[in-house]
Amino acid sequence: MAAAAAACRLLRLAPRRLRPLTGLSLLPKPLSASSGWRRYCAAAQAAAPPPTASAATGETVGEFRRRIRVSKVKGGEDEGAAWVGKELTVRGWVRTCRAQRTVTFVEVNDGSCLSNMQCVLTPETEGYDQIDSIATGASVLVEGVVASSQGGKQKVELKVSKMILIGESDPTSFPIQKKRVSREFLRTVAHLRPRTNTFGAVARVRNALAYATHKFFQDSGFVWVSSPIITASDCEGAGEQFYVTTLLSNSAEGGCLVNSIPSKDGRVDWSQDFFGKPAFLTVSGQLNGETYASALSDIYTFGPTFRAENSNTTRHLAEFWMIEPELAFADLNDDMACASAYLQYVVKYILENCKEDMDFFNTWVEKGIIDRLNSVVEKSFVQMSYSDAVKLLIGSNKKFEFPVKWGLDLQSEHERYITEVAFGGRPVIIRDYPKDIKAFYMRQNDDGKTVAAMDLLVPRVGELIGGSQREERLDYLEARLDEANLNKDSYWWYLDLRRYGSVPHAGFGLGFERLVQFATGIDNIRDAIPFPRVPGSAEF
């Protein structure tokens, strides 16, 4: 409080006399007068210490201190019991406001966890005269003493001695009211949807999955490599790629004139483009990642990748994040072991660190998801060859929509049958696929017909991870490029890795949003990323 008061006072002084303030400070009264602001400053000033003397040439920057958040109070084993009797200040957004005869209950959420702080206001509360302006979506500061709660929903609540309305929220226009709103609607207000329970929880679990990803690889000695986003390398087929260009321009009023696009003989003159030739958004960082694995041994990428695919499904995004580890001196077995250990690690991490959010998903989004995830952590993963998988599917006598035959790719229905039915919910890795349905860089097996590829299948989602051992033998790789009608010259640097100190290596790729779906039960991938990009929409 003292610091906040000082902020109010000192911001009116010359900047060089400003004292560093941290954690608790608020701001002077906004132009749009709100009596709360004024009163907050006035009240807080009383307790403010005098500013320290300023140095002749500058003043030191203050210490960075974290505010106490609701998760800190309510997130422990005791759900806040140890805080009873202690003073607490909470800053957050009003979720609901229930006025009773003598008390008003305001649920305040600060985004640090799913739980709100139940705040109990009475006519004695300073600022109670503003209670009529407290609506869903408003931001407030509440100060008081933590007390045991009589209600069954929470262990503690805040007896509020002072409330300050920071930012109002017009209840007639605020798009996210208490009534349940559809996820479809929430996509149209993607800037506000993190203020809902579901999207707050998705954001926190997504964050935990990302951090667990870094922890797993860092603890295993992998180096994070930022593979390039823009690429003019011809290695990636141009199909389904976005062009990145500066040749178009909307500077002319009314839009970009086609005849102002630099051209030569009726064709776009790429030499005048920013990179001097056609450039694209990357579809994968793997080939670049292999270059670093061939020097640092083990690396991983974690960055955005892109597909200009016109797919309007619940499983596709035009922009999504990928995790692509690459292990040197490793074969397909190492690759499978790494993928399994990785998945178990991150799932275990969220089960342990996001308990409240996971309970929420278990109750409201997908019943049984915690059991499903627990079994991923506890059961060892199963592997089987593609050939055996085909036999299993044929032997099942189940009617599938798509045909099952050696040489054809497995469809989602097949994958889900294997992991959900045949193996009763256990993750399964299918390996050694026919080479004709897999990428050129995958290592040919000795049978001449299959490659050392693997797909990790999980219940409900199907394929979550795809990987392979890479072809490290120059002659094999060149033969595969020829078979695939790819231009060897474009791959000069990729082939160099096989010319100079080639090593057996393997890696895999994981679509991060698929992982978020798998871990939260959210069924539409557009709800697994803050601002989804899909055909016809790149809003916000």
Site string for a second copy, 341-370 (x = CB under 8 A): xx----------------------------
Binding status of residue 16 toward a second copy by CB under 8 A? yes
Among 40, 83, 306, 361, binds a second copy (CB under 8 A): 306
For 429-462, give the DSSP string: EEEEEEGGGS-TTBPBPTTSSEEEEEEEEETTTE
Among 179, 446, 485, 489, binds a second copy (CB under 8 A): 446
Site for a second copy in 46-65 (CB under 8 A): 55, 57-65
Contact by Cβ (8 Å): 98, 105: yes
Q: Which of the stretches 42-50, 116-124, 156-164, 168-176 binds a second copy when contact is defined by CB under 8 A?
A: 168-176
Binding status of residue 333 toward a second copy by CB under 8 A? yes
> CA 524, CA 521: separation in Å to the nearest integer?
9
Pairing between β-strand 223-224 and β-strand 298-306 as defined by DSSP bridges:
parallel
Within 10 angstroms of residue 160's Cβ, the number of other Cβ atoms is: 27
> In the numeric block, which tokens belong to residue 323?
């995790």
Residue type, 174: F
Least distance (Å) between residue 342 CB and a second copy: 8
What is the number of alpha carbons within 13 Å of residue 118 lying toward its C-beta?
A: 18
Binding status of residue 417 toward a second copy by CB under 8 A? no
Binding status of residue 145 toward a second copy by CB under 8 A? no
Among 349, 360, 361, 423, binds a second copy (CB under 8 A): 423
Binding status of residue 284 toward a second copy by CB under 8 A? no
Q: Which of 340, 342, 321 is nearest to 381 (CA)?
A: 340
Helix (H) or strand (E) holding 295: helix 286-296
Our CB check for a second copy shows the closer of 71 and 411 to be 71
Site for a second copy in 480-509 (CB under 8 A): 493-494, 496-504
Which string of b and e fits 489-499 if b means at least 16 CB within 10 Å? eebeebbebbe
Binding status of residue 474 toward a second copy by CB under 8 A? yes
Least distance (Å) between residue 270 CB and a second copy: 7
Our CB check for a second copy shows the closer of 147 and 503 to be 503
Site string for a second copy, 247-276 (x = CB under 8 A): xx-xxx-xxxxxx-x-x--xxx-x---xxx
Among 51, 303, 434, 466, binds a second copy (CB under 8 A): 303
Task: Show Cβ contacts of residue 202 under 8 Å, excluding neighbours closer than 6 positions.
Answer: 516, 520, 522, 527, 528
Binding status of residue 322 toward a second copy by CB under 8 A? no
Among 35, 42, 81, 329, binds a second copy (CB under 8 A): 329
Site string for a second copy, 192-231 (x = CB under 8 A): x-xx---xx--xx--x--xx--x---x-xx-xxxxxxxxx
> In the numeric block, which tokens belong to residue 299?
């690396």
Binding status of residue 478 toward a second copy by CB under 8 A? no
Q: Which of the stretches 79-87, 338-346, 369-377, 409-417 binds a second copy when contact is defined by CB under 8 A?
A: 338-346
> CA 273, CA 279: separation in Å to the nearest integer?
9
Contact by Cβ (8 Å): 306, 281: yes
Within 10 angstroms of residue 348's Cβ, the number of other Cβ atoms is: 16
Among 319, 356, 463, 523, binds a second copy (CB under 8 A): 319
Q: Give the position of tokens 């009264």.
A: 29
Binding status of residue 296 toward a second copy by CB under 8 A? yes
